[in-house]
Chain A
Amino acid sequence: MESVGSIIMYVIIALAIVIFSILAVTTRKILRAATYLLFTLFATAAIYFQLDYEFLGAVQIAVYAGGIVVLFVFSILLTSHPGDNSEKLASKSKKMGLVGAAVMFIAAAWSLFSRCEMLMTSRPEMSNPDMQRVGEALMGTAHYQYLLPFEAVSVLLLACIIGGVVIARKR
């Protein structure tokens, strides 16, 4: 049994995710969409916190909410014509998208519910992964340690930095 507080917390998080997701994809002003995305990301971070992954939550806030959204905002400001930052959606494509998303949602939800028992296990106890464990796992080369992907990602990031500079540079 969970404490009532965490249930209330969950409800708030879930509502935030649902509402801000919908708003992020339906709002006509692109800057607002970015803002709603930010809220969704915050809600996601909250989930991580609630599931005891504090480090992950922190990364989520720092990288996603802090970095990516700022990038979005910048790019929106750079690419939108003044006074023309809204778009009209064709109702047909809207409907189609809605139907597609709904079908997908129903199908996935149905398959989730059809395995309801399996998913109804209670949350096991877990010691919060402290920074030492995270650090060791990230920097080790043994089983369940991730130095290689870490390096790969770092190289990727480097490539992205260079790529971003090259692409965005003025000729």
Chain B
Amino acid sequence: MELTMLYYLIPSLFMFCCGVYGFVTRKNMIAILISLELMLNAVDINFVVFNRYLFPGNMEGMFFTLFAIAIAAAETALAIAIIINIFRVASDIDVREINKMKF
């Protein structure tokens, strides 16, 4: 048995779908954020895998992942700041209630 690309893509796909499931079902904003992180991770894996298997001499995939991680960190920090702020205002972080900005 050889560990081809497919073997890595399938778990990453699974992770991604779990992220999607979590994103659309969870109501807690932090849980949603966690799901988002899962999806991001799955994508990161794909980048790395494709880089490793198809263009082993280059490092684009790796760097993309690197930057993605950095940005994910920034984004998470900001999102959590917002969530905490919302919690202060609304004392709740249920996403269904946070629709003041609609329309």
Q: Are B53 and A123 in contact, with the CB atoms below 8 A?
A: yes
Complex: A74 Cα to B72 Cα, angstroms: 17
Looking at the assembled complex, report how far the CB atom of B49 sits from the nearest CB atom of chain A, in whole angstroms. Answer: 7
Q: Are A153 and B70 in contact, with the CB atoms below 8 A?
A: yes
Within 8 A of A (CB), among B41-73: 41, 44-45, 48-49, 52-54, 56-60, 62-63, 65-67, 69-73
Q: Are B83 and A75 in contact, with the CB atoms below 8 A?
A: yes
Tell me if A's interface is mostly helix, strand, loop or mixed: helix
Looking at the assembled complex, report how far the CB atom of A35 sits from the nearest CB atom of chain B, in whole angstroms. Answer: 10
- Choose from B3, B12, B69 the contact partner of A123 (Cβ within 8 Å): B3
Q: Are A96 and B70 in contact, with the CB atoms below 8 A?
A: no
Q: Are B63 and A126 in contact, with the CB atoms below 8 A?
A: no
Q: Are A89 and B25 in contact, with the CB atoms below 8 A?
A: yes
Looking at the assembled complex, report how far the CB atom of A164 sits from the nearest CB atom of chain B, in whole angstroms. Answer: 4
Looking at the assembled complex, report how far the CB atom of B26 sits from the nearest CB atom of chain A, in whole angstroms. Answer: 7
Q: Are A119 and B6 in contact, with the CB atoms below 8 A?
A: yes
Number of interface residues of A (CB under 8 A): 86
Residues of A within 8 A of B70 (CB): 63, 153, 156-157
Residues of B within 8 A of A89 (CB): 25-27
Residues of B within 8 A of A71 (CB): 76-77, 80
Could you list 19 examples of A-B contacts with CB < 8 Å?
A1-B2, A10-B3, A10-B7, A25-B22, A26-B22, A30-B28, A33-B31, A40-B38, A60-B69, A72-B80, A75-B80, A78-B84, A100-B20, A101-B20, A105-B13, A150-B67, A153-B70, A160-B78, A161-B77
Add 6 more A-B contacts to A2-B1, A24-B18, A59-B69 (CB < 8 A).
Answer: A21-B15, A30-B28, A41-B37, A55-B62, A71-B77, A112-B13
Point out residues on A near B: beta carbons under 8 Å. 1-2, 6-7, 10, 13-14, 17-18, 21-22, 24-26, 30, 33-34, 37, 40-41, 44, 47-48, 51-53, 55-56, 59-60, 63-64, 67-68, 71-72, 74-76, 78-79, 87, 89, 93-94, 96-98, 100-102, 104-105, 108-109, 112-113, 116, 119-126, 129, 133-134, 137-138, 144, 146, 149-150, 153, 156-157, 159-161, 163-165, 167-168
